[in-house]
């Protein structure tokens, strides 16, 4: 009985020893998704690229009263088309009319007193100083009257140009402070389309702008129709968070479409690439050299790696082996395998 137990224990020990000496299971590293640095191959001098965009008013003004008061009446509502000079809003003018009447009376009194002093100074019945005082009082009264009349005129707001009322921020009978926005108005004869351009394409866009290649836009409400726009402004400082540059384009308001701010659009821009884009340089960090031949890792449309042979000139420019639009890996090439799935590594801003 004891011998049988010893034999069984020996068998178990032999099995454990054999297992410990066997090779570890293999790991398929090609199945690991890896983040890699990539570059796009560009073999054309120009290309059209679509960018998401949105509609903005070409001209927009926030309207406010120059004097405080209670709103008496809105002549128009949000969405109303207006003509330049058309009345928009009135304040209750009572206090300002009373002020004009009071200063008018002060002015008339000062004028009479000054005219009387003119007659007296000629007869040397008053001093020159007394005469100067009445003259000064007349000028002060005149200025105060003009200011009162100006304040009264400020109780009305009229349209500064032809356009559409975008919004109103108060209701009738509410009190507003001076220079507090009460209404906004947008121009109707033109609209702006705004898009964001990545840093890597801003140079190509500026070259396109200089060569007068006009972009086109389509709108979500009518996607099959293209409208020609012209570049109005290209900002020179990138957004600190997104790293993109804001580009503003403008166009006449279309007759067949009503466009409002924040509507979605797509801008199609013909980008003029660098002069040497037909002979693109391949960085050394992307090239595998074997027996005088050059290879790169090309990323397929399903993000898998394939090793392809390329031909380079003496100065490292691509001669053959890649097509326009191909993506290749530019770093860590010796740690990759064919068929491996990769994703593009994006550097976080500030690092």
The mean pLDDT value for 43-60 works out to 84
Query: Could you tell me which residues come within 8 angstroms of residue 104 by beta carbon, excluding any fewer than 6 positions away?
Result: 145
Torsion of CA 153, 154, 156, 162, to 10 degrees: 110
Q: For 7, which DSSP code?
A: H
pLDDT over 70 at 29, yes or no: no
Spacing of C-alpha 120 from chain mean position: 71
The mean pLDDT value for 4-28 works out to 51
Handedness of CA 159, 164, 167, 172 (dihedral sign): positive
How many CA atoms does the CB half-sphere of 239 hold within 13 Å? 11
Percent of the chain exceeding pLDDT 90 equals 52
Q: How far apart are CA 128 and CA 121, in angstroms?
A: 7
Residue 87 vs residue 8, higher pLDDT: 87
Q: How far apart are CA 314 and CA 290, in angstroms?
A: 16
- C-beta atoms surrounding 25 within 10 Å: 5
pLDDT over 50 at 27, yes or no: no
Quote the tokens at residue 48: 């059209």
Phi, psi of 72 (to 5 degrees): -90, -40
CATH architecture for segment(s) 47-59+189-275: Beta Barrel (2.40)
Answer for the pair 304, 297: CB distance below 8 angstroms, yes or no: no
Same fold flag, 30-43+278-344 and 47-59+189-275 = no
Q: What is the pLDDT of residue 211?
A: 61
Q: What is the pLDDT of residue 14?
A: 57
Answer for the pair 221, 265: CB distance below 8 angstroms, yes or no: no
| Distances 56 to 36, 69, 159, 259, 289 between C-alpha atoms, Å | 38, 32, 20, 9, 53
Q: What is the pLDDT of residue 207?
A: 75
Q: How far apart are CA 201 and CA 267, in angstroms?
A: 14
Domain boundaries, the chain: 30-43+278-344, 47-59+189-275, 93-154
| Distances 226 to 63, 250, 267 between C-alpha atoms, Å | 34, 14, 9
Least confident range of 7-11, 157-161, 332-336: 7-11
pLDDT over 50 at 337, yes or no: yes
For residue 76, the SS3 value is: coil
Which residues pair with residue 299 across a beta bridge? 305, 327
Largest CA distance in the chain: 156
CATH architecture for segment(s) 93-154: Orthogonal Bundle (1.10)
Q: How far apart are CA 53 and CA 195, in angstroms?
A: 4
Answer for the pair 68, 155: CB distance below 8 angstroms, yes or no: no
pLDDT over 60 at 21, yes or no: no
Residue 294 vs residue 209, higher pLDDT: 294
Q: How far apart are CA 232 and CA 147, in angstroms?
A: 41
Q: What is the pLDDT of residue 350?
A: 46
pLDDT tens column, 264-312: 999 999 887 665 544 578 889 999 999 889 999 999 989 999 999 999 8
Q: What is the pLDDT of residue 15?
A: 52
For residue 224, the SS3 value is: strand
245-252 and 222-228: which strand pairing? Answer: unpaired
Kindly list the strands in the beta sheet with 69-74, ordered across the sheet, starting from the edge strand earlier in the chain.
156-158, 87-91, 69-74, 175-176
Closest by alpha carbon to 167, among 55, 79, 89? 79
pLDDT band at 13 (very low <50, low <70, confident <90, very high): low
* Fold exhibited by the domain 30-43+278-344: 2.40.420
pLDDT tens column, 58-68: 888 999 999 99
- Which run of H or of E encompasses 94? helix 94-122
pLDDT band at 155 (very low <50, low <70, confident <90, very high): very high
Q: What is the pLDDT of residue 348?
A: 61
């Amino acid at each position: 009985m004891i011998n049988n137990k010893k034999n069984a224990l020996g068998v178990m020990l032999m099995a454990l020893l054999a297992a410990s000496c066997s090779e570890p299971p293999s790991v398929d590293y090609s199945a690991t998704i890896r983040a890699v640095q990539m570059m796009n191959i560009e073999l054309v001098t120009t290309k059209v690229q679509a960018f998401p965009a949105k509609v903005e008013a070409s001209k927009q003004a926030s309207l406010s009263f120059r004097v405080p008061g209670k709103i008496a009446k809105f002549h128009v509502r949000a969405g109303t088309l207006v003509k330049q000079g058309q009345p928009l809003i009135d304040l209750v003018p009572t206090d300002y009319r009373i002020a004009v009447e009071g200063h008018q009376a002060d002015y008339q009194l000062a004028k009479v007193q000054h005219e009387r002093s003119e007659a007296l100074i000629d007869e040397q019945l008053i001093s020159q100083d007394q005469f100067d005082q009445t003259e000064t009082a007349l000028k002060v009264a005149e200025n105060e009257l003009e200011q009162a009349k100006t304040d009264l005129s400020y109780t009305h707001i009229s349209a500064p140009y032809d356009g559409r009322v975008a919004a109103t921020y108060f209701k009738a009978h509410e009190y507003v402070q001076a220079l507090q926005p009460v209404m906004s108005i947008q121009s109707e004869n033109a609209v702006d389309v705004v898009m964001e351009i990545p840093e890597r394409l801003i140079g190509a866009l500026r070259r396109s702008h200089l060569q007068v290649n006009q972009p086109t836009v389509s709108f979500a409400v009518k996607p099959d129709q293209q409208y020609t726009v012209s570049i109005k402004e290209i900002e020179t400082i990138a957004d600190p968070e997104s790293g993109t540059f804001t580009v503003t384009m403008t166009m006449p308001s279309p007759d067949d479409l009503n466009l409002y701010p924040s509507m979605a659009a797509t801008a199609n821009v013909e980008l003029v690439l660098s002069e040497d884009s037909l002979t693109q340089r391949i960085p050394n960090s992307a090239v595998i050299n074997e027996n005088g031949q050059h290879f790169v890792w090309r990323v397929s449309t399903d993000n898998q790696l394939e090793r392809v042979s390329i031909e380079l000139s003496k100065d490292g420019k691509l001669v053959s082996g890649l097509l326009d639009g191909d993506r290749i890996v530019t770093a860590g090439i010796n740690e990759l395998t064919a068929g491996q799935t990769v994703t593009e590594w994006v550097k976080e801003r500030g690092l």
